[in-house]
Amino acid sequence: MESPFNSEKLQESAKVLNLPAKRLLLVFPELEWDLKRAGYKMRAVEYLAITLFISMSALVGTLLLTTTPFFLTNTEFNPYIAVSLPVFIAIISFFYLLFMPKMVVLKEGKLIDQDLEYMLKDMQIQMTAGVPLFNALANIAAGGYGECSALIAEIVQEVESGSSMRDVLNNYGIISPSEYMRRALWQIANAMQTGSDIKLAIIALSNDIRQEKENKIKIYGQELSLWGLIYMMAVIVAPSMGVTLLVVLSSFIGGKTISMDIFWGILVGLIAFQIIFISMVRSKRPYIG
């Protein structure tokens, strides 16, 4: 995947920040690998410099948008509030851009895992029928296995260009965004090096992947019981008992103290909590293909 910031003008503008980016890179040593696994064709220093440049541009742009209307209308404003919003947006922009390659890696890893087990079974069937490994990989590259076929197609292209198949498998295993694909490529490369049966290695790996997916499903099912209890307490028990308590207290301390705004606030808070809770539970759900 090409970087969305692979623009010559943007890179030239951000070059002035290469020195602070190089020093800041010590805090984020994994950024180089994240960029390679995400398919970004740029160095970590360049990406971090662009991230700093965009964050600073967001800071200056938001600061101008929030303060210019007050200066034009000669209206008094709180400088702390006017500055805090641009700083907040700049910080959010910096960390979003910084972790965007990692999010791309996670997304592509899930797409690869989606078809990996079926790809390995296809390889197993082909090699059982006597198809050579390279021909099996070439068939998988054209077999319609999504991101798996795209990755295998790159491997086939590298091998056809004259590179050693074992070296190519090892190299792509290093930069693979999927842990399962990484293990698959490395096990095939090790089987080639040791002269063992590649078909047996593929069968063992396919069984391991299936077993790990089943274990993840069991763990997720156990976690759902706890999450369900938390959801019931936070969304059903606490609001109903809390509203009842507020109604009772209002009769003692006066109705004006507890207004409708409080109940509307509780309702909005419940809706926001449920959206966040459902998103969190969905993100923890294992994908089994």
Would you list the DSSP string of 117-161?
HHHHHHHHHHHHTT--HHHHHHHHHTTT-THHHHHHHHHHHHHHT
What pLDDT sits at residue 118? 85
In angstroms, how far apart are the furthest CA atoms of the chain? 86
Are residues 93 and 67 both part of a single domain?
yes
Model confidence at 289: pLDDT above 70: no
Domain span including residue 229: 213-284
Domain assignment present for residue 220? The answer is yes
| 182 CB-near residues (< 8 Å, 6+ apart) | 173, 174, 176
* 121 and 37 inside one domain: no
- Summarize the confidence of residues 233-241 as an average pLDDT: 82
Q: Residue 1: inside a domain, yes or no?
A: no
**Residue 13 or residue 130, greater confidence:** 130
In what helix (H) or strand (E) does residue 205 lie, and over which residues does it extend? helix 198-231
Q: Are residues 140 and 92 in the same domain?
A: no
Does the structure show a pLDDT above 80 at 160? yes
pLDDT tens for each residue of 181-204: 888 888 888 888 887 778 888 888
Q: Is residue 206 part of a domain?
A: yes
Of 210, 227, 257, the position where a domain reaches its end is 210
- The last residue of one of the domains, among 168, 194, 210, is 210
- Around Cβ 38, how many Cβ atoms within 10 Å? 21
Q: Which of 218, 158, 223, 166 is nearest to 190 (CA)?
A: 166
Q: Which of 210, 236, 258 is the last residue of a domain?
A: 210
Task: Identify whether 275 is part of a domain.
Answer: yes
User: Among 116, 110, 109, which residue's Cα sits nearest to residue 184?
Assistant: 116
Phi-psi category of 162—alpha, beta or left, where left has phi over 0 and alpha has psi -120 to 50? Answer: left
Comparison of pLDDT for 254 and 157, the residue scoring more:
157
